[in-house]
Amino acid sequence: MKSSKGYVFLEVVLGIALLGLVVVTALPLLNYSYRGYERIISRVEMTYIGEKLSEELRSDNIYFKSLLENFKDVEEVEYFELEEEDLQKYGCKIINMGDNEYLWELKIIVYSKNSEEKIPNVELEINIPK
């Protein structure tokens, strides 16, 4: 009768080594995928904020009408009327692009306040009748 204790130990060590190789290659891929999804979610939220603001500017709300009238005096306005959660993560600028007597030509820029995430700004150009 032969002893096979050394072979069992060797098989366990090789199994753990192979499992380690699989984990070492899989974890960075999963981490990169997760970070990609976070960027996509941030980009979608930024697009939503920009679209929401453009629709609000087109509405007949008195506040937004007075905001549009401010563009006679200034070229750029920082917009702070976002929800509290969005205000912590994103910033929003409204820029007057042109001087037309019939239209407001505006650019809405939504940017991320988190400098670690390299998310490009969302820029929307809209025209609103005066």
- Inter-residue contact 39 to 119 (CB < 8 Å): yes
What confidence tens digit (pLDDT) does each residue in 61-92 have? 788 777 777 777 778 888 887 788 888 888 89
**Tokens 């025209």 belong to residue:** 127
pTM here is 0.74
Per-residue pLDDT band at 3 (split at 50, 70, 90): low
Q: How far apart are CA 127 and CA 36, in angstroms?
A: 33
The stretch 86-112 carries a mean pLDDT of 86
- For the segment 35-44, the average pLDDT, to the nearest whole number, is 90
Cα 41 to Cα 90: distance, rounded to the nearest angstrom:
13
Q: Residue 99 contacts by C-beta under 8 Å, 6 or more apart in sequence?
A: none
- The three-class DSSP label of residue 81 is coil
- The structure tokens 């409204």 sit at 94
Sign of CA dihedral 91, 64, 49, 103: negative
Q: Residue length, the chain?
A: 130
